[in-house]
Amino acid sequence: MKRIFYCALCAMVVLTMCDAGATGAFSLLPDRGDAYLSFYLDNDLFAGTDENYTNGIRIAWISGPRDPKQFGTVQRGLRKLTGDSESLKVFQRISGFRDLTNIEYNYGTSITQLIFTPEDPDALKSPPGESPYAGWLGLGFSLHAKDAYALNSAELSIGTVGPNAHAKEVQDFIHDLKGVAQFKGWDSQIPNEPTLNLFFSQKRRLTFIESEWGKFSVDGFGEWGAGLGTFRTDLYLGALTRFGWNLPVDFSDPRLSPTAYSHQPFNTDRRESGPWSLYGLLGFRGSAVAYDVTLDGPVFHDFDTGATREPLIGGLYAGLGVRYRDLEITYVQTFPSRRFKEQSSGREFGSIAISYRF
């Protein structure tokens, strides 16, 4: 199974690097001008705990504008979900685009790791009512289509749950650096199993709140999305509002998710009026979850996690962001509901996003 996973992983990388046109091969190096490289970190230590959803890391790169002739095999497949003139009719109807032939495209690559542990670090197996030991590692390939009013993103993610996700090694390394005790129950974690997931997300510009008084302004977007696959199957709805001075044209939303990329989500001629930006942000997200491998266990293994997934979850978040020229740093605190029924309450955590525009 491990060999199958890594063979599939290598195949996806090769397919993504294949160029469909004559303009040159796809490069893993960032574009000059409008590409973004972002680092995301979720950790409950920002809330003074070390349990449940305890750590998440994501590195994401997204290109500058691309011509569809440059799309590789994966991007051509994902284009069917973007809502443009070449996509499936059902996605065209919900695209939010004003003109299906006047679309700008970007594509990206990401790697994400999520770590879950119980509250008791000495427990050799997750105690009843506490989060199971679980780690997930995924490699994502995405395509983003946008106009001045909407952004549609589709991402294909191939990954693994279990020891192959190396959650234990990462957590042990971090705990060694901090000089704190290691969790002892990783031998009871969810077993190895490859995962395959397709994600779709849509952001619509909230123009009715967009305003500007001198250098102080307000903007935001509404969002919804869905996931389908053996990592996570869900449907979500949410919104984000930013308010501050000289708002960046990009949205460095620090929430780590399978479709998180820091970039300019809507076509606009606006540019920052100076090298500095300072702003606050507020938002919410609610999800209907049909399957979560970290709580329901793997599809092809008989494994009892001891947790009963909550079908409806949600959370509020608030934070601050600062930009200096092409570097942007954002921090938010998230206040989620319970992930599973046995959990006594939701466990808040903090998130940092660092984004650099090339």
Q: What is the pLDDT of residue 301?
A: 87
Q: Show the domain range for 158.
A: 2-357
pLDDT at 54 over 90: no
Query: What is the Cα–Cα distance from 253 to 102, expressed in whole angstroms?
Result: 26
Show the CA angle centred on residue 79, arms to residues 77 and 82, nearest 5°: 140
Amino acid at 55: N
Q: Residue 32 — very low, low, confident or very high, per pLDDT cuts 50/70/90?
A: low
Q: Could you tell me what percent of the chain has a pLDDT over 90?
A: 61
CATH of the domain at 299: 2.40.128.140
Q: What is the pLDDT of residue 10?
A: 46
154 vs 215: which has the higher pLDDT: 154
Q: Residue 1 — very low, low, confident or very high, per pLDDT cuts 50/70/90?
A: very low
Query: What is the Cα–Cα distance from 254 to 273, expressed in whole angstroms?
Result: 23
Tally of structural domains, the chain: 1
Query: What is the Cα–Cα distance from 16 to 19, expressed in whole angstroms?
Result: 8
pLDDT at 23 over 70: no
Residues forming a β-bridge with 226 = 200, 235
pLDDT at 20 over 50: no
Q: Residue 80 — very low, low, confident or very high, per pLDDT cuts 50/70/90?
A: very high
Q: Residue 30 — very low, low, confident or very high, per pLDDT cuts 50/70/90?
A: very low
pLDDT at 262 over 60: yes
Write the CB contacts of 48 (distance below 8 Å, at least 6 apart in sequence).
none
212 vs 56: which has the higher pLDDT: 56
Each residue's pLDDT tens digit, 319-357:
999 999 999 999 999 999 999 999 888 788 999 999 998
Write the CB contacts of 45 (distance below 8 Å, at least 6 apart in sequence).
350
Is pTM, for the whole model, over 0.95?
A: no
Each residue's pLDDT tens digit, 186-238:
999 999 999 999 999 999 999 778 777 768 899 999 999 999 999 999 999 99
- Output the DSSP codes for 29-47: SPPSSS-EEEEEEEEGGGG
